């Protein structure tokens, strides 16, 4: 199934109806046994659809913009879209002013010898990032965690070819699947130092709403099945490459500390938006001189994230 850029927004257009959004939120809140679900859905319907419309406006503006301002537009578009997603599981958002901050900090850039790929961001205790991780993905204890830009870029499957060309790593292995089974190469088990049973236990720990079983095993791969393969593949540790429509797993063992891909996009866009706003001299020099591997990777990421984020948001809202 293909996911053209415009079609994703077209598929989200029904949220432009306040009545549809109210019914949608009420259904969501009923899953969590929310108190006053009907009144909460009524109260949140307009903020919810406004977040989506505002986010869409940022993305459409980014599509027409020059690369020098694109990170800021995409980041704030993503912020609005994530707020909409949070409202589907947290009827009281925002309950405090503490969660209105971005939830991420970046270190001061050193002018001499600065490399974007070696730059880091640090997760704060409070803010949108931390709240989204908790409410949308049940991920906690991220306070103080640091992520390097290269590490984040290596977690965007659409960049895998460019990362190989520039010798920056990121090894993704394709996963074959059909409605009944998912085929996992033995290479993955070897890289993770997992038995087949341990791998299934790992998957089960990440997706407790899906039942997973081992179908068969041979020297080349294992075959697994679940009661909902689509849901299983939509979540960590699986990656979906929008450009070729294939699912992947990463071979690096450290990918076990995986975050949902949309959070990687958030961290990358946050840092890039800070750089283009507050480190304009370095940013403009990068865009004009093409002197390092930073430029092609940043350029390819911005092209990819502009397409990928609406797709990922659509998935979150229709899961």
Domain parsing of the chain, residue ranges: 5-165+261-318, 172-251
Q: What is the mean pLDDT of residues 92-106?
A: 91
End-to-end Cα spacing for the chain: 16
Structure confidence by residue, pLDDT tens digits, 194-238: 899 998 888 888 877 788 888 888 888 899 988 888 888 888 889
- pLDDT-derived band at 55 (thresholds 50, 70, 90) equals very high
Q: Are 82 and 310 in contact (CB under 8 A)?
A: no
- What pLDDT score does 110 carry? 65
Query: Residue 204 class from Cβ within 10 Å (0-12 exposed, 13-18 middle, 19+ buried)?
Result: middle
Q: How many CB atoms lie within 10 A of CB 109?
A: 16
> What's the rounded mean pLDDT across residues 261-286?
93
User: Judging by beta carbons within 10 Å of its beta carbon (0-12, 13-18, 19+), is residue 233 exposed, middle or buried?
Assistant: middle
What token pair was written down for 101? 């901050």
pLDDT of residue 257: 63
The CB-based long-range contact list for 162-171 (8 Å cut-off, 24+ gap) reads: 162/296, 162/297, 162/300, 163/297, 166/293, 166/296, 166/297, 168/117, 168/293, 168/297, 169/252, 170/250, 171/250, 171/251, 171/252
Residue 1 is predicted with a pLDDT of: 39
Q: How confident is the model at residue 254 (pLDDT cuts 50, 70, 90)?
A: low
pLDDT at 159: 94
Residue 255 in this model has a pLDDT that exceeds 70: no
With 70 as the cut, is the pLDDT of residue 5 above it?
no
Residue 249 burial (CB < 10 Å; 0-12/13-18/19+)? Answer: buried
> How far is Cα 314 from Cα 310, in angstroms, rounded to an integer?
6
pLDDT given for residue 256 in this prediction: 53
For residue 251, the 8-state DSSP code is: -
pTM summary value: 0.93
Does residue 32 surpass a pLDDT of 80?
no
Summarised one tens digit per residue, pLDDT across range 124-180 is: 999 999 999 999 998 988 999 999 999 999 999 999 989 888 878 767 889 998 878
Residue range 89-97: mean pLDDT, rounded: 91
Strand-pairing partners, residue 246, are 241
Q: How many contiguous H segments (helices) and E segments (strands) does the chain have?
A: 13, 9
Examine the pLDDT at 2 and tell me if it is beyond 50: no
SS3 299: helix
pLDDT score of 105: 94
274, pLDDT greater than 90 = yes
Q: Using alpha carbons, select from 169, 155, 158, 172 the residue that is nearest to residue 267.
A: 155
């Amino acid at each position: 199934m293909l996911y053209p850029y415009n079609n994703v927004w077209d598929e989200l257009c029904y949220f432009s109806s306040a009545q549809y959004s109210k019914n949608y939120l009420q259904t969501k809140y009923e899953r969590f046994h929310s108190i006053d679900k009907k009144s909460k859905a009524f109260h949140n319907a307009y903020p919810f659809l406004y977040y989506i419309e505002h986010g869409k406006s940022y993305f459409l503006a980014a599509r027409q913009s020059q690369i020098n301002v694109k990170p800021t537009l995409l980041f704030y578009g993503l912020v609005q879209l994530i707020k909409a997603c949070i409202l589907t599981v947290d009827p009281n958002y925002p309950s405090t002013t503490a969660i209105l901050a971005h939830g991420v900090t970046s270190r001061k850039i050193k002018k001499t010898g600065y490399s974007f790929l070696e730059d880091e961001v640090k997760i704060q205790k409070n803010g949108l990032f931390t709240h989204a991780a908790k409410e949308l993905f049940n991920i906690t204890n991220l306070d103080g965690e640091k992520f390097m830009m290269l590490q984040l870029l290596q977690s965007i499957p659409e960049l895998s070819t460019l990362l190989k060309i520039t010798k920056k790593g990121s090894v993704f292995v394709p996963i074959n699947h059909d409605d009944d089974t998912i085929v996992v190469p033995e290479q993955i088990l070897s890289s993770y130092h997992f038995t087949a049973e341990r791998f299934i236990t790992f998957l089960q720990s990440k997706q407790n709403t899906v039942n997973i079983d081992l179908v068969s095993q041979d020297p080349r791969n294992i075959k697994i099945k679940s009661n909902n393969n689509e849901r299983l593949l939509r979540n960590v540790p699986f990656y979906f490459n929008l450009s070729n429509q294939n699912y992947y797993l990463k071979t690096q063992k450290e990918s076990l500390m995986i975050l949902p891909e949309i959070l990687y996009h958030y961290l990358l866009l946050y840092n890039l938006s800070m750089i283009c706003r507050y480190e304009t001299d370095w940013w403009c020099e990068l865009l004009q001189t093409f002197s390092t591997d930073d430029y092609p990777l940043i350029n390819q990421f911005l092209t990819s994230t502009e397409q990928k984020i609406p797709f990922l948001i659509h998935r979150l809202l229709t899961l």
